[in-house]
Amino acid sequence: MRRSSGAAAWALGVAVAFFLAAEAAGAAPVPHDYEQALRKSLLYFEAQRSGRLPYGQRVAWRDHSGLTDGLEQGVDLVGGYYDAGDHVKFGLPMAFTVTMLSWSLLEYGGDVAAAGELAHALESIKWGTDYFIKAHTKPDELWAEVGDGDTDHYCWQRPEDMTTSRQAYKVDRERPGSDVAGETAAALAAASMAFRETNPHYAHLLLHHAQQLFEFADKYRGKYDSSIAEVKSYYASVSGYHDELLWAALWLHRATGRASYLDYVVDNAHEFGGTGWAITEFSWDVKYAGVQILATRLLLRGEHEERHRATLEGYRAKAEHYVCACMGRNAAAEDNVERSPGGMLYVRQWNNMQYVTSAAYLLSVYSGYLTEAGAGKGAAVTCAGGEASADAGEVFAHARAQVDYVLGSNPRGISYLVGYGAKFPARVHHRAASIVPYKDRKEFIGCAQGFDDWFGRKSANPNVVVGAIVGGPDRHDRFRDDRVNYMQTEACTYNTAPMVGMFAMLNRLARQEGPSPAARRPESSRSTAAAE
């Protein structure tokens, strides 16, 4: 997690390039308190914890929950994260969340540490990886879900009062799940590097599980939503499992340096779509853009054999298609990501912010890889069939603009990071946040009682889910702050995870650029003006 001199040079270069780009556009960047955003983002993961909460739990309106998870199946599945505003523990998005948290520390860990948040960041990762170790009960067995989405959605309860099914579901040799096993392998491999300096024994344990899970995912291939029918309505694996296999192999190569993992990525590049799919989104389901950018990193850094070059160039071409799509630089309009009038990347109406934050992260790390490679190595993005290009500074400027949009630099002046700024969503679609805290009212709240007494209230939630990034506005920058409007007001762990490193890095850049009186926003625990 130490910063290299190349990373420092990148930071200075992108800061200068960003301001030059802003000046050319006739605009100046709006100052934000990225350090406050970083602190708040890490609080969110404590709000999403399942299991027995630790002594140092900072989100005091949460209490222990899910303490019998796995009991019926004879396995300890206590712990892990609720991914959103409900109480099912879905393995695929949980693993992606941990992968992105770990990647944030691998790229920007020095910045997280400088802000005094490294311990909290590592805790957020470990809460997930401890659970994955429990869930990986045999080399060829992984428990991939606890709870049932259908019954869970019939109720509006605090997690501390849950009466819904806690049935657990697994993938194994007979019921394969290469996507969920592959993503969990990626998460554990990335996390092993995050813990390498502070807890080498734990890092070794994580890597051991990662290697076993990858072998299982590759040997017994199949989509997990074919093995666990209950997940199809919520986290179906639309992209299949090939992207997760490539993704896991790249993370294992980075964690171990073993040539066999890179050989796997090269040998399967065509068959698995790594050099074939030109993608305009990156998410818990669709990993191709991340795969392509990680593969390009190896090419730019020269960490490959010459026989790999042609295939890695193929990965780079598709990585640049994604980057150019986010900047609106591809030749065909349909090959670009739509933008709202306020400049937000828009992919789809349901939880669009997940695509905004993941795109911001990928563009940021890619700009860093370009800068580290240097201009002499073709370190620029080529778009529109070679007719347009962008340097690292331009790529980074687009990434930062998306982060600032999330924080309130948008037409409505709303921060979509809950708890940050003067105006943020007050009626987040979140069961625990919308009901009086358990510590204040311990009497049982029944399944339907939550709907009757709390869900339909027009007032703000009694608890603020600080650090959550909600689904966000529509393609016209319109946002309705209503608990019923779950497509816009529900938050997910994988919305916030990519932003942890981004906030830390931007905090350092902001300090290098110099303080501004407007850069420090007041601390707030409640929205002073609810979004309309």
DSSP string, 263-327: HHHHHTTTTTTTTT---S---SS--HHHHHHHHHHHHHHT-S-GGGHHHHHHHHHHHHHHHHHHH
Q: What is the pLDDT of residue 348?
A: 95
Question: What are the tokens at 526?
Answer: 């409640």
218 vs 173: CA distance, rounded Å: 11
Q: DSSP string spanning 52-120?
A: S--TT---TT---B-TTTTGGGTS-----B--SSS--EEHHHHHHHHHHHHHHHHHHHHHHHHTT-HHH
User: Is 326 inside a domain boundary?
Assistant: yes
120 carries an active-site annotation: no
What does the pLDDT read at residue 135? Answer: 98
User: pLDDT digit string (tens) for 462-491?
Assistant: 999 999 999 999 999 999 999 999 999 999
Residue 153's pLDDT is: 87
In a domain, 524, yes or no: no
CATH number at residue 45: 1.50.10.10
Asked whether residue 450 is domain-assigned, the answer is yes
In a domain, residue 530? The reply is no
Q: How many residues does the chain have?
A: 532
Residue with tokens 């601390």, as numbered in its chain: 523
pTM to 2 decimals? 0.92
Q: Return d(Cα 316, Cα 289) in angstroms, integer.
A: 10
**What's the CA dihedral at 488, 490, 495, 500 to 10 degrees?**
120
Contact (CB, 8 A) for 167 and 148: yes
The answer to the question of residue 307 being in a domain is yes
Distance CA 237, CA 289 (A): 16
In a domain, 167, yes or no: yes
Which residue is catalytic, options 32, 87, 308, 429? Answer: 429
Given this model, what pLDDT does residue 384 score?
Answer: 77
Q: Which residues pair with 382 in a beta bridge?
A: 389
Q: What is the pLDDT of residue 419?
A: 98
Interacting residues of 3 by C-beta distance below 8 A, sequence separation 6+ = 109, 110, 111
**Rounded Cα distance, 328 and 363, in Å:** 13
Residue 234's nearest CA partner among 153, 157, 346 is: 153
Q: Which residues of the chain, if any, have pLDDT below 50? A: 1-27, 516-532
Sign of CA dihedral 110, 114, 117, 118: positive
What is the rounded distance in angstroms from the CA atom of residue 196 to the CA atom of residue 207?
10
CB atoms within 10 A of CB 474: 16
Residue 377: its pLDDT value, please?
59
Domain ranges, residue 73: 5-519
Total of domains in the chain: 1
Task: State the pLDDT at residue 390.
Answer: 83
The predicted structure's pLDDT at residue 312: 97
* 171, 116 Cβ separation under 8 angstroms: no
pLDDT tens digits along 117-172: 999 999 999 999 999 999 999 999 999 999 998 888 899 999 999 999 999 999 99
Going by their DSSP bridges, the two strands 89-90 and 142-146 should be labelled as antiparallel
CA nearest to 294, candidates 212, 381, 362, 383: 362
How much is the pLDDT for 30? 62
Res 7: pLDDT? 41
Instruction: Please name the residue ranges forming H helices in 169-258.
Output: 178-194, 200-219, 224-227, 232-235, 242-256
